[in-house]
Amino acid sequence: MNKTLVMLPKTPPRDHRQTAWDLFSHDADIGVRGYGETKEIAFEQAAYAMTGVMTDPEKITPLKSVDISCEGPDDALLLYEWLNALVYEMATRGMLFSRYAVDIQDNTLTGRAWGEPVDIDRHQPAVEIKGATLTELRISQEPDGQWTAQCVVDV
């Protein structure tokens, strides 16, 4: 089977939209939401929002990249897998990320995240993310074409 070769940028994207994400309220925990003109951008922005739960993303220098590959039977579960893969990489590498590049083909996501080791004094991370949940997990597209990707994360 021929699969289109996925080419992710080798250096962190410079022209990333810093304001195309927000956090929404959930009593015990917190929701992350990303917007974009493509599904991939919405996924990137949702990841950016997840960083925003912990710290100001601007404090994180994109020094080193980590590759991620995951699958999901539908877009929503693909977002779930993407965010949880990031949670896993942050936890096991002791890193925080602030730049993302995503490519989605059918049910497969190929991604790259850039960041640096956690520096408590500089980053002051407020809280650890346990995982992205199925709660309020939704990928949607507006009539004007804009994509939204969101879910609640357990902290």
Partner 1 sequence: MEISKLEQTGPCEWQIAPFGKMNVPAVIYADQDLVEDMDEKVFEQVTNVATLPGIVKASYAMPDAHWGYGFPIGGVAAFDAEQDGVISAGGVGFDISCGVRAMLTNLTREQIEPLKKQLADALFAKVPAGVGSKGDIRLNPQEMDGMLAGGAEWAVRQGWGDEADLERIEEHGRMAGADPEQISARARKRQRKEMGTLGSGNHYLEVQEISEIFDAETAKGFGLKQGWVVVCIHCGSRGLGHQIGTEFLKDMAITAPGQGISLPDRELACARLKSDIGQRYLGAMRAGVNCALANREIIGHLTREVFAQIFPGSKLDLLYDVSHNTCKAETHRTNGKERQLYIHRKGATRAYGPGHPDLPRGLMEIGQPVLIGGSMGTGSYVLTGTKTSEQKAFSSACHGAGRAMSRRQAYKKWRGRQVIDELAQQGIIIRSPTGRGVAEEAPGAYKDVTAVVDAAQTAGLANKVARLKPIVCIKG
**Site residues (CB under 8 A) for partner 1?**
23, 25-30, 53-55, 73, 76-77, 80-81, 84, 87-88, 91-92, 94, 117-118, 120, 124-128, 130-135, 137, 152, 154-155
CB 62, min distance to partner 1, A = 18
Q: How far is the CB of 1 from partner 1 (least distance, A)?
A: 23
Closer by beta carbon to partner 1, 2 or else 92: 92
Q: How far is the CB of 61 from partner 1 (least distance, A)?
A: 15
**Sign of dihedral through CA atoms 105, 107, 109, 110?**
negative
Residue 26: both structure tokens together? 């959930």
Q: Which lies closer to partner 1 via its Cβ, residue 31 or residue 62?
A: 31
Cα separation of 121 and 147, whole Å?
Answer: 36
- Residue position matching structure tokens 């995503």: 102
How many whole angstroms separate alpha carbon 14 and alpha carbon 99? 9
Radius of gyration of the chain measured on its C-alpha atoms = 14
Least distance between partner 1 and beta carbon 68 (Å): 13
